[in-house]
Structure 1
Amino acid sequence: MVFTAFDNGIFHFDLANNYGPEYGAAERNFGHILREDLMPYRDELIISTKAGFDMWDGPNGVGGSRKYLLASLDQSLQRLGLDYVDIFYHHCPDPNTPLEETVGALETAVTSGRALYVGLSNYDGPTLERAAAMLAERHVPFIINQNRYNIFDRTIERNGLKEAGKKLGKGLITFSPLDQGLLTNRYLNGIPADSRIAHDARFLNASALTDDRMKQIRALNELAQSRGQSLAEMSLAWLLHDDAVTTVLVGASKPQQILDDLAALDNTDFQQMSSQKSTKSLNNK
């Protein structure tokens, strides 16, 4: 899957200290692939990692403290076999640590050469603006926010994050663009035996497939078909057409899914749909 992505123009690989299923496994696996095959292309790659959520037991294995963030970054670099990452994110706000301390740790990550840029993940608008002001005062290259965003989950539109990012000129990289598979044709006819719901309910539970939600999914699927796209392609295209969105993170379990996702780039135009909707509204009036 990594080779399929890279060979088709995807050069950003997003990691975190606790991506697994065993914490650290994603970084170790990607580090192995780097050493064996991709290291000659290191300067073409954007490799990011994060710390913030729980990684090891005790108060220093979670949060936004200076001790946790810098210790975790050192461990991530060791697992990856790298001297630096391109982007180091604080993975989530920590109400138990002063924001100034978290910002200071991100500054050290850059000034020590362990990261080229820093990012913030899962912040809301007001907290982002406070952190951005502190980082700017310290001349830390803060460039991007990473947040959950998709057709169904519009949280960043309500908590001020999207608007604050646009105002400050910070990028937005979105995760869970397909809402854990709901925005695909995967569940149109029930729950497949090999689906995520059937085997791992940590992120998606069968209770999410309510009658109302299924009506929405089917309606969106019909709309996608009218555009000559799959529901997944349209869902990705909807994000990609937004000028507030820098890039979209996709997960895959097989190479073909990556190629299917790339097809979303063939049609990211929603202007015609908006015009048709406006005309219909005027005719109805």
Structure 2
Amino acid sequence: MNYERQPYRRCGRSGLKLPAISLGLWFHFGQERTLHDQRAIIAKALELGITHLDLADRYGPPLGAAEEAFGTIYRKDLRGLRDEIVVSTKGGNPMWDGPYGAGNSRKHLLATLDRSLKRLGLDHVDIYYLHRDDQETPLEEQVATLDHIVRQGKALYVGVSNFTPERTAEAASLLRELGTPLTVHQPQYSLLRRRIEDGLLAVLEEHGVGCVVYSPLAQGLLTDRYLDGIPAGSRAAGGRFLTASDVKPEVVAFVRTLHDLAAERGQSVAQLALAWALRDPRVTSLLVGASSPEQLEGNVAAVDRLGFTDDELAFIDRTAKEAGVLA
């Protein structure tokens, strides 16, 4: 484990520190990839100081496959490192048929967490998230279940993902009353999707909640992969979560401009995009996926140049607005 390769940031007002770049075990950790490849990526992550590995019960395909793959790798490679890694997973997703197979009810969350722990081969996770809000289940029940999970010893910290600023503030207040702080929120954030700047980051700061961002590279759009069309074998070509229609001319033009700026900074487009997302101290960590150890190493190199001049930031903002790519 190389703790010197990248900075660690405190998660809100908790005692937990996370690496600036963390590994998301979503797209590349299912039965579509070999266990050999998955082990190589995790080994490289540890070498790069990535102590935080993020999952969800639904990640695959098929459902649960990412947790199963992690469990196998944990038994083979990581058992002696349990105290050196932070493992997070999420619940509330549709996982089986029937009225109790989805949602944030106490009934479903306790059952799906037990299934996650069995797949992971762990007796607890470090962070357990509500993957999304459940408008049909009272928020009081949702947060009381998180509190119960911590008191059971099945999670050390709890978080929410994809909650609105208002619901995040309410959840944080309710959890504080129960004595189990809301430690982290996991929202989407990138140069193409900046909605968390419109209220959520302020709420997180006010309540002392960390921010672990997913999709900081907009599923690959904020790389040089699509500058000359849609290559065979790419995520957009496959049409899973990212489609050819997402590779819009205005997005490509914006990324091409970023490419030129990145070259002046001695970075790749991806490294610039990651550094930009880390410019705000309220952002704790960025979750990145990786199809290879080399790609992961390139992404972590973003921490070698995190600073931006005021002129660079103004140029990025102006170019994005002119291109009409902000969401």
TM-score (norm 1): 0.94
> C-alpha separation between the residues in 2 aligned to 1:212 and 1:184?
14
Equivalent in 51, 57, 61 of residue 17 of structure 1:
57
Counterpart amino acid of residue 114 in structure 1: K
> C-alpha separation between the residues in 2 aligned to 1:38 and 1:275?
40
2:323 aligned partner: none
Q: SS state of the match for residue 136, structure 1?
A: helix
Q: SS state of the match for residue 288, structure 2?
A: coil
Structure number with higher helix proportion: 1
Tell me, yes or no, if structure 1 residue 168 matches structure 2 residue 211. Answer: no
2:234 aligned partner: 195
Tell me, yes or no, if structure 1 residue 253 matches structure 2 residue 277. Answer: no
Query: Contact conserved, 2:231 with 2:237, CA < 8 A, in 1?
Result: yes
Tell me, yes or no, if structure 1 residue 6 matches structure 2 residue 46. Answer: yes
Question: Deviations along 1:71-96, whole A, 9 cap, x unmatched?
Answer: 11111111111110000000000011
TM superposition outliers: structure 1 runs of 4+ over 4 Å: 274-277
Give aligned-pair identity as a percent: 49
> C-alpha separation between the residues in 2 aligned to 1:275 and 1:71?
46
Q: Which runs of 5+ in 2 are unaligned?
A: 1-40, 316-327
Q: SS state of the match for residue 76, structure 2?
A: helix
State how 1:269-280 maps to structure 2 within 5 Å: 269-271=307-309, 273-274=311-312
> C-alpha separation between the residues in 2 aligned to 1:105 and 1:215?
46
- Could you tell me how far 1:273 is from its partner in structure 2? 3.5
2:259 aligned partner: 221
> C-alpha separation between the residues in 1 aligned to 2:257 and 2:219?
18
Which one scores higher on RCO, CA 8 angstroms, separation ≥ 6? 2
Q: SS state of the match for residue 21, structure 1?
A: coil
1:281 aligned partner: none
Question: Deviations along 1:112-146, whole A, 9 cap, x unmatched?
Answer: 00001101100110000000000000001321000
- Could you tell me how far 1:275 is from its partner in structure 2? 8.4
2:92 aligned partner: 52
> C-alpha separation between the residues in 1 aligned to 2:197 and 2:103?
25
Tell me, yes or no, if structure 1 residue 115 matches structure 2 residue 155. Answer: yes
Counterpart amino acid of residue 55 in structure 1: M
Change (3 A) 1:95 1:228: same
- Could you tell me how far 1:276 is from its partner in structure 2? 8.2
Change (3 A) 1:219 1:18: same
- Could you tell me how far 1:225 is from its partner in structure 2? 1.1
TM-score (norm 2): 0.82
Counterpart amino acid of residue 136 in structure 2: N
Counterpart amino acid of residue 130 in structure 2: H
Change (3 A) 1:266 1:272: farther
Question: Deviations along 1:168-213, whole A, 9 cap, x unmatched?
Answer: 11100000010011000000000111211112x1311111122222
2:101 aligned partner: 61
